[in-house]
Chain A
């Protein structure tokens, strides 16, 4: 099956710093999403980005599908950005199939 690898596994930032999280995947995908899991366990949709670049406030993401990777950029980090960031891809190149998750990047932003 498809493999999803995220790096780094852990990241500690000073408030205000910038960071880049990476997601590599082993096969062609129809869907790639980034999620933020807050301390209460809720998964927040950040980006649906099977290809291209998107921005939402201090966050942006880029997926280069031909090279099988995606990047999540966090600028001017805040303590509320802390949590686990997951990359997930759709397992087969068609709709209505479940996501395969990477192991996540645990981000801690300290004041």
Chain B
């Protein structure tokens, strides 16, 4: 399995500011994924982060709003920029199993963001 440390676990931010969420994995992984979960909703993919290249964003998500870094095979950051109350959500990072024998996905603890 993969152990993922995600920080911060929660934050309350003022509108117009930015927050950077960190995701650290205990083993090298090819892909890292960032999801958003709005209140009472399911998880929606924001983007896929591959080391050494720009992240690939899903429809409805743009790099200016959610810039992502992937400097190495064990670390990624997601920034939520120019926040508004609509950005209040749980943000989660995910990786596939570092084992090559299956494609089980693992998730960080999540970051609960409240924008006021």
Question: Is A103's CB within 8 Å of the partner chain B?
Answer: yes
Question: In chain A, what residue has the closest Cβ to B91?
Answer: A41
Interface range, A side: 20 to 34
Decide if B42 touches A102 in the complex (CB within 8 Å): yes
A99 contact set on B, CB distance < 8 A: 33, 43, 45, 94, 105
CA distance A43 to B1 in the complex (A): 14
Of residues 74 to 116 in B, which have CB atoms within 8 Å of A's CB atoms?
90, 92, 94, 96, 102-107, 109-110, 112
Q: Given A30-B103, A42-B109, A90-B103, 20 more contacts at CB 8 Å? A: A41-B37, A41-B109, A41-B110, A41-B112, A42-B107, A43-B107, A48-B102, A88-B43, A90-B105, A95-B96, A95-B103, A96-B103, A97-B31, A97-B103, A98-B31, A98-B33, A98-B94, A101-B42, A103-B41, A104-B42
Q: List 15 A-B contacts (CB under 8 A).
A: A31-B102, A31-B103, A40-B110, A41-B110, A42-B109, A42-B110, A43-B110, A88-B43, A90-B105, A96-B103, A98-B35, A99-B45, A99-B105, A101-B43, A103-B42
